[in-house]
């Protein structure tokens, strides 16, 4: 028994240490971005190279590598897709992996290995990524703006004037707060339409007034000028006629 304990103690002293941290869990949504955390202490370990692995990390290196660094530089030749980004401060030991535009196939385990000098001294982190489907919301408004239907997951809501009904599965339930909301929206829309109609009427009236008033004003001014020019000619003709009559009388 003592011999076995001594052997175990010798093995612990001889074998190099392996630093492996417990796995953490991150939740992401399809179509969005997610960041898998991984950091190490630069002051303690200095700047180190890092690799990200899909699946459990092997005993050495990364056997299903996604991206890797050479201290402060991302090794582009190791990046398997532009969706994998290291957006943290590499000089501060932040080597977290950001995955862009998540899909359901991205779910699973990821491993981050920070290479530290000495055999089996690497820092190893495992992250389990779970993917949730992003909720889908679609809104369709009727031509008159009074009928609105909204889909969100399995919930369907339809607004028809003052009637609002919500379907949740097989349940049909009227919701009075939504009725009030729709009535207020409808009243506001009607008032806005009335204001727009009044503004349109006033604008058309003003434009029509200008179209009629300005030509009439011009015609009046032209007529006055013409009359002013015609009056001296008429007076001259009258004077000439009177003079001719006086001469005729004198001759007789």
pLDDT in tens, 120-133: 899 999 999 999 99
Q: Considering only residues 46 and 179, tell me which one the structure prediction assigns the higher pLDDT.
A: 46
pTM of the model: 0.51
* Rounded CA separation 3/139 (Å): 76
* Rounded CA separation 102/211 (Å): 63
Residue 179 has pLDDT above 90, yes or no: no
The number of C-alpha atoms within 13 Å of 79 and in the hemisphere containing its C-beta is 15
Instruction: Please tell me the predicted confidence (pLDDT) of residue 169.
Output: 46
- CA distances to 8, 16, 83 from 4, rounded to whole Å, are 6, 20, 51
| Whether the Cβ atoms of residue 113 and residue 124 lie closer than 8 Å to each other | yes
| Whether the Cβ atoms of residue 124 and residue 19 lie closer than 8 Å to each other | yes
In the chain, where the domains are located: 17-132, 135-252
Is 90 strand, coil or helix? helix
Task: Provide mean pLDDT across the span 159-188.
Answer: 55
Pick the CATH number of 17-132 from 2.10.109.10, 2.60.120.460, 2.60.40.10, 2.40.50.110: 2.60.40.10
Instruction: Please tell me the predicted confidence (pLDDT) of residue 250.
Output: 64
Each residue of 111-160: pLDDT tens digit? Answer: 999 999 888 899 999 999 999 998 876 555 444 455 555 555 545 555 55
Task: Provide mean pLDDT across the span 164-179.
Answer: 49
Task: Provide mean pLDDT across the span 15-19.
Answer: 44
Contacts of 25 (CB under 8 A, 6+ apart): 127, 128, 130
């Amino acid at each position: 028994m003592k011999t076995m304990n001594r052997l175990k103690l010798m093995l612990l002293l001889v074998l190099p240490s392996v630093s492996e941290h417990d796995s953490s869990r991150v939740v992401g949504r399809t179509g969005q971005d997610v960041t898998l955390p991984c950091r190490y202490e630069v002051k303690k370990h200095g700047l180190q190279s890092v690799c990200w692995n899909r699946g459990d990390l092997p005993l050495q290196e990364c056997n299903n590598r996604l991206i890797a660094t050479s201290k402060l530089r991302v090794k582009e030749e190791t990046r398997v897709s532009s969706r994998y980004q290291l957006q943290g401060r590499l000089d501060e030991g932040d080597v977290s992996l950001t995955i862009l535009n998540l899909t359901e196939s991205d779910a699973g385990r990821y491993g981050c290995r920070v290479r530290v000098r000495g055999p089996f001294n690497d820092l190893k982190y495992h992250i389990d990524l779970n993917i949730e489907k992003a909720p889908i919301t679609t809104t369709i408004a009727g031509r008159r703006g009074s009928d609105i239907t909204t889909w969100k997951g399995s919930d369907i809501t339809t607004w028809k004037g003052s009637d609002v009904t919500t379907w949740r599965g097989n349940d049909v339930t009227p919701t009075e707060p939504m009725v009030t909301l729709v009535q207020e929206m409808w009243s506001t829309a009607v008032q806005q339409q009335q204001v727009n109609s009044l503004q349109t009427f006033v604008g058309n009236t003003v434009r029509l007034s200008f179209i009629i008033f300005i030509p009439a004003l011009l015609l009046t001014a032209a007529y006055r000028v013409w009359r002013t020019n015609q009056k001296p000619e008429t007076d001259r003709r009258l004077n000439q006629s009177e003079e001719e009559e006086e001469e005729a009388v004198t001759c007789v």
